[in-house]
Every structure is written in structure tokens, then in C-alpha cells.
Amino acid sequence: MIARFLLRRAATALAVVAALSALCFVLLDVAPGSPAASILEARSGGRPATPAAVERLEREMGLHDPLPVRYGRWVAGAVRGDFGDSYGTGRPVREVLADTAPWTLLLTAAAVLLSVAGAIAVGLAAALTRRAWLRRGIQTALFALGGMPGFVTALLLMWIFSAWLRVLPSGGLNRPGEPLTAGVLAAHLVLPALALAFGHHFGTYARLVETGVGRLRSAPHVENARARGLARWTVTVRHLLRPGLVPFTARLGVGVGGLIAGAYATEMIFSWPGIGRQAVLAAREQDYPVLTAVVLVTGVIVVLANLLGDLAVAWLDPRVRLTGKARHAHH
């Protein structure tokens, strides 16, 4: 049963990635401008290329071949990890990804951890407290946070901790001439990770935890566990938290896609050298091989996050026996 579930999800994931790659390739193919002209201008320091030179390079690059032929050639290379060369720098795209993707993964992982820990803590506090003023205060704060755009959260954090308090660096991985140690990296990671974690759907996550746990407070199996004298921690974790986190977990798997999209803006604001910042630069320079590869890698990450979310829901909810209905288990 588990193998069937994984195979079904893997097939869906492959179909989504294939459709995404084809759509991206077609859209970039019809984009204005000539890749050959961009390459020649980059090589000549910005001087416009002659039509004859552009025509010659386009033939060398195979740009006059039919679209299906070029797409098939690109897919064959991508399967081997060969995404071509950057139009702007001439570097292999896989080297560009190797230099930038790990930083985006680090930022996103840190943001997910902060978001999960914070949402569970705040949601539990709102669901289990007997103080009405505290519950209303948390709900008001979450409502205000949910209405604040992610880039505003990022700029506000930068102003408070970098410009006003001067306790955290405002961007980059390290200062010029400063060795990149674990401590330096952690200090530079704090603000973008906080901005990404609390600037994208955090209020929704916390409310899902509050709702999921709150509706179980007086459930018969919870009252029965308390009557049997089980420890409060055991009742909270096993009978409240685990089933109560199902809606939150299902939403989190989908929300990672929003985190990845938010990471693009966050990386630009904090000068974080990830694939989001690289994608913006590539779009500005019409560097289509880099842009196509970034979109494909981002799509793969989002698809994997959704798959992990489904698996987590199936593990948390004993009623879901990996039958392929994990996404809807919380309805």
C-alpha cells in the first residue's frame, strides 16, 4: 500500500515537472529578443551585434530547429544535469545552480523550522489558554501579521535590528574581508529567515494549529485519556497535538511553494546569494538558460515539498492509510 501511494505520488510529481518544464521552455522561446544577440552583446562589452553575426550564431546554437526538437535536446541535457551555458557569463548553468541553490535551500529550511516552531507554540498557547484576553491578543496579532506584505515585514525587521538596534547585519553572507564562519553565517541568516518565516502565511499556520487543537480539547478520547490519569504532556502530544496538526501539516506542504516564491523577494532585499536573486538577475539580462533551469529546480522543490506534506499528513492521521487521500484528510 505504501509503495502504491509513493508510486502514484511520484508519477504525479513527474507529470507536473514535465508540464512545468515544457511551459517554461515555450514561454521563454516566444519572449522578445534574440539569445544570440544577447550573447554577442555580452561578449563585445555591450556593442550591438550585426544581423549577419546574429544569424550565424543562431544557426550554430540550433535556434532555427523546430521547437519540439530544441525542447527534446534540452530535456536530454537536463536529465544528465546539463542545462547549457549562461548567455551572460558563458559558465555552465549547473555551476551557477551549484553556487546559488544551497543558499536558497538553507534559507528556506531555516524559515520552515522557524515557521513550524512558532506556529505550533503560538497556536497551542491560543488553543489551550483559559485566559480570554491572551487568546484575543494572539488572534489580533495574527490578524495584523497576516495583513502585512512579506516585503514590509522584511524591511521592518531590517530597520529594527540593523538600523536602530544595530545588533544584526542587514544583508549578504558576510562583510567585506570578513571570513565566512558558522557564527558569521548564522548572524546573517537570522533576519532573512525571520522575514521569510513570519512574512508568509504564518498567521494562517498558527490559526490552523489553534483550530485543530482547540476542537479536540473536549473530545471524548481526550477526556478519556485525562480520566485514566495520563500525564498532561502525554495527553497534549499524543491526543491533542498529533491529530490537531493534520490541517496545519496539509497546508504547510502547499505553503512551501509560497515560501520559495517569497524567498525570491527576500533574497533581493537582503542581498542573499540564492537562486531567487539569480533568477531576477537572469530575467533582467535575458539569460534564458539560467532562468529556465531556476524555474525547473524551483518546481521540483515545490513538488517534493507537497509530497512530504502528504506523507506527513498520512503519518499524523491514523485514519489515512496512505490511500492517496492524504491531501484531503483534514476536511
Name the amino acid, one letter, at 229.
G
Torsion angle, alpha carbons of 5, 6, 11, 13, to 10 = 110
Measure the CA–CA gap between 286 and 40, rounded to whole angstroms: 13
- Residue ranges, comma separated, of all CATH 1.10.3720.10 domains in the chain are 97-328
The pLDDT, as a whole number, for residue 189 is 95
Residue 250 has a pLDDT of 76
pLDDT value for 321: 47
Indicate the angle between helix axes 93-128 and 246-269, nearest 10 degrees. Answer: 130
> Per residue in 219-229, pLDDT tens?
777 778 777 87
Query: How far is 177 from 175, CA to CA, in rounded Å?
Result: 6
41-91: pLDDT as tens digits: 777 777 788 888 888 888 888 888 888 998 898 888 888 888 888 887 888
First to last CA, the chain: 22
pLDDT at residue number 318: 55
pLDDT value for 284: 80
Nearest CA to 8 among 325, 296, 329?
325
Provide, rounded to the nearest whole percent, the portion of the chain with pLDDT above 90.
18
- CB-CB contact of 119 with 126 (8 Å): no
Q: Which residue has the cell 534564458?
A: 288
Cα separation, 320 vs 162, in Å, equals 47
Average pLDDT over residues 181-190: 93
Q: In whole angstroms, what is the distance from residue 314 CA to residue 243 CA?
A: 11
> Mind listing the pLDDT tens digit for each residue in 128-141?
888 888 888 988 88
Q: What percentage of the chain carries pLDDT values higher than 70?
A: 93
Of 267, 299, 306, 261, nearest in space to 24 by CA: 299
**DSSP three-state, residue 312:** helix
Annotation: CATH topology of 97-328: MetI-like fold (1.10.3720)
What pLDDT sits at residue 328?
46
CB atoms within 10 A of CB 218: 8
pLDDT tens profile 275-324: 988 888 888 877 888 888 888 888 888 888 777 777 777 676 655 544 55
Taking 90 as the threshold, does the pLDDT of residue 25 lie above it?
no
Per-residue pLDDT reduced to its tens digit, 100-132? 999 998 999 999 899 989 999 998 888 888 888
In this structure, the dihedral spanned by the alpha carbons of residues 44, 47, 53 and 57, taken in order and rounded to 10 degrees, is 50
